[in-house]
Amino acid sequence: LLDGLKNEPYTRRHIIDLYQYADFEETPGLNPCAFLTVWSVRDKYLDVTLHQRSSDYCTAGHINKIQYVALMMMVARHVGLKPGVFMHVVDNLHIYDRHVEQAKELIARTPSDKQPKLILKEGKINFYDFTIDDFEMVDYDPVKPQLKFELGI
């Protein structure tokens, strides 16, 4: 992907597909929920579309966005582009019945006036050199108390 985006940025073949049936037969466990990304260069911007087959929204719905936006930021920096538009397509977004009361509580809360922003600090360029310490979350003001949701595997 990194070489392709550098050498042939405008091809429509920049795709990562984690859904490999042969792997699932050999290794028991969950199939990937967020499984396909399509990477597109638009002028000086790198856009990403994430396809997700399933999302337990209360436990992981928000983290998938953060993870893939961070990935887009690192890849864009590596190939000399700016982060562009992130699109997220979820086929089966659900809330388990054991999470309904907590979900209602979450919806009833007054959100923060601040809009959080994820920033990739200046300096590093090489994708393989980035660490969690290269990111900063600005204006993140979570509403307390934190709700805990049981994982539904």
- Catalytic residue, from 33, 103, 106, 118: name it: 33
CB-based burial label for 55 (10 Å; 0-12, 13-18, 19+):
buried
Q: Tell me how crowded residue 15 is: count the other CB atoms within 10 A of its CB.
A: 13
From CA 147, how far away is CA 55, in angstroms rounded? 18
At 86, is the secondary structure helix, strand, or coil?
strand
At 18, is the secondary structure helix, strand, or coil?
coil
Phi, psi of 28 (to 5 degrees): -70, 155
In the annotation, is 58 catalytic? no
Catalytic residues, by residue number, are 33
